Amino acid sequence: MKPWFARLALVLALLAPLDAAAADGLHVVATIRPVYAFLLGLMRDADTPELLIDGDRTPYDYRLDARGRRLLEQADLVVWVGPELETSLATPLAALKKTGDDGPRVVELLASQTLKILPSRDRPDERDPFFWLDDRNALILLDELTEWLVRIDPQRAHIYIRNRRRMRKPLRRLDRVYEYGYRGLKGAPGVAYYDTLQYFEQAYAMKLLDHVGASPRHPGSTAALLRVRARLASGEARCLLLERGMPAPGLSVLTEGLKVHVGELDSLGLGIDPGPELYLKLMQHNTGVIRECLGSRGGKADELLDAGIDEGDAGDGIGGRFVLTDQFGDSRTEQDFLGHYSLVYFGYTHCPDVCPTTLQTMASALRRLGDKAKRVQPYFISVDPQRDSPRTLRDYVAYFDPRLIGMTGTPAMLKRVAAEFRVRFRKGEVDPAHPDLYLVDHSASLYLMGPDGRFITKFANGIMPRDLARRLDEIIP
């Protein structure tokens, strides 16, 4: 149990009277299936939430009916994504918020301060609603929903916290397997009809070439349709991704007379039984469709995911002996990790996006941590010894944080220390004309080691600075 959950549960259980809703049954409503699945799992052995948009309807074509009005009026808690997705619910839910302290509590997930929320690529004034397609957001969502249930029903906090703990394990396994197994789903370049995969692309280093429209609310122009058709006709793209339940006007224009691989995503889970396992099945379905359409394979990751194997779940054996050289030319060993908390990241200085973003996150989180940051030593281990000399590392790490220690070593030693941390890296293809312009594919997590040199936990790539700071604050006494 996380410390903040324990404190919250205890305080609310002692101070709050028995909520009438808890005595009479807790009425919780989720608008869409992915969120409903999380609530269904969290409320197991307590109550059963209601799904507002049921059947094969999407939030884009849903209109509030008599059943829906009744569910909202009876609700103690309503969880929706936001007006960018459930547009027709914006006015009814705004009215619910005005019903007073005894009325239902309405949670808009796109307004969350902890979830990673991106702006729409087509409409920067709007938010991209498909945040759950980054599994790190799924873990954060699980925490947020648990907190809301504990607040509204403190008498059964122990049930929600127990269920949260049980649900985190498969989500963390999904994150670990995807992190190294599905990064770089490159294969044959693809396009999408709707831009629903922005979070997925960022999380797994996949890049689609183009899309027609933002959503069924903004289906795109004729010019966009013809532009995507041209990419498919030229062979630049050979995969077209659609979304289940979302109409694709002019689809024949994109495919007629062309040999195009077409895959149907199900990002809303419309074709999946709305049970507590829906999210995991949704992610497996989408990844399988993308992989097949792009002509890529996940290799070992496929086997792990399909078999449900939790590789390295407990972190046993992470870390070990090493001898590396820091940015000043001095030797560093595992003994340097003793006496303080060590935050360790593997990458390389020519990394175009993931490494600088993660190091900025690390630095920002340490600034937010206040005095506790003095107990944390950050390290950056380069897996690119060909280009990353100590001098190169010196200039690079100084840009992010003056306390950041950069380390590198011989290829053999880097291979060994990477294996000890279960980090995978692989040098990309080298152009003979430009031998120094290559990429290195690598695991992108942050490792936290304790003052005794033992592994504590791993933070997934993409974690926000405030969330990293919060997690560190919970762990460091």
Do residues 254 and 260 touch, judged by C-beta distance below 8 A?
Answer: yes
- What's the pLDDT band for 25 if we cut at 50, 70, 90? confident
Q: What is the pLDDT of residues 384-411, one digit of tens each?
A: 999 999 999 999 999 999 999 999 998 8
Please report the pLDDT score of residue 92 as a whole number. 93
Do residues 16 and 150 touch, judged by C-beta distance below 8 A?
Answer: no
Helix (H) or strand (E) holding 455: strand 455-459
**How many separate helices (H) and strands (E) can be counted in the chain?**
16, 17
Please report the pLDDT score of residue 298 as a whole number. 45
Q: What is the pLDDT of residues 418-460, one digit of tens each?
A: 888 988 888 888 878 877 888 988 888 899 999 988 888 888 8
Q: Give the span between the Cα atoms of 121 and 327, in whole angstroms.
A: 39
Q: What is the pLDDT of residues 243-272, one digit of tens each?
A: 999 999 999 999 999 999 999 999 999 999
Whether the pLDDT of residue 19 is over 70: the answer is no
Q: What is the pLDDT of residues 118-159, one digit of tens each?
A: 999 999 999 999 999 998 899 899 999 999 999 999 999 999
Between 53 and 477, whose confidence is greater? 53
Please report the pLDDT score of residue 460 as a whole number. 84
Whether the pLDDT of residue 21 is over 70: the answer is no
Assign a CATH topology to domain 190-307: Rossmann fold (3.40.50)
- What's the pLDDT band for 101 if we cut at 50, 70, 90? low
Do the two domains 3-168 and 190-307 of this chain adopt the same fold? yes
- What's the pLDDT band for 310 if we cut at 50, 70, 90? very low
Please report the pLDDT score of residue 228 as a whole number. 96
Whether the pLDDT of residue 291 is over 50: the answer is yes
Whether the pLDDT of residue 280 is over 50: the answer is yes
Do residues 194 and 214 touch, judged by C-beta distance below 8 A?
Answer: yes
Q: Average pLDDT of 178-186?
A: 55
Helices marked H in 263-340: 278-294, 300-307
Helix (H) or strand (E) holding 405: strand 405-408
Q: What is the pLDDT of residues 42-73, one digit of tens each?
A: 999 999 999 999 988 999 999 999 999 999 99
Please report the pLDDT score of residue 174 as a whole number. 81
CA distances, 236 to each of 192, 208, 397, 417 (Å)? 13, 11, 38, 40
Assign a CATH topology to domain 323-475: Glutaredoxin (3.40.30)
Between 464 and 5, whose confidence is greater? 464
Whether the pLDDT of residue 467 is over 60: the answer is yes
**For the purposes of burial, counting CB atoms within 10 Å of the CB of 154, is it exposed (0-12), middle (13-18) or buried (19 or more)?**
buried
- What's the pLDDT band for 22 if we cut at 50, 70, 90? very low
Please report the pLDDT score of residue 236 as a whole number. 92
Q: Average pLDDT of 162-178?
A: 84
Whether the pLDDT of residue 78 is over 90: the answer is yes
Whether the pLDDT of residue 115 is over 50: the answer is yes
Please report the pLDDT score of residue 103 as a whole number. 60
Do residues 248 and 195 touch, judged by C-beta distance below 8 A?
Answer: no
Average pLDDT, the chain: 86
Please report the pLDDT score of residue 434 as a whole number. 79
Residue of 193, 226, 230 whose CA lies nearest to 208: 193
Q: Which residues of 242-277 are buried (b: 16+ CB within 10 A; e: fewer)?
A: bbbbbebebeeebeeeeebbebbbbbbbbebebebb
Q: What would the CATH number be for the domain defined by 3-168?
A: 3.40.50.1980
Please report the pLDDT score of residue 419 as a whole number. 86
Q: Give the span between the Cα atoms of 334 and 143, in whole angstroms.
A: 34
Whether the pLDDT of residue 170 is over 80: the answer is yes
Please report the pLDDT score of residue 98 as a whole number. 58
Q: What is the pLDDT of residues 330-388, one digit of tens each?
A: 989 888 999 999 999 999 999 888 899 999 999 999 999 999 999 999 999 999 999 99
- What's the pLDDT band for 203 if we cut at 50, 70, 90? confident
Q: Return the domain boundaries, the chain.
A: 3-168, 190-307, 323-475
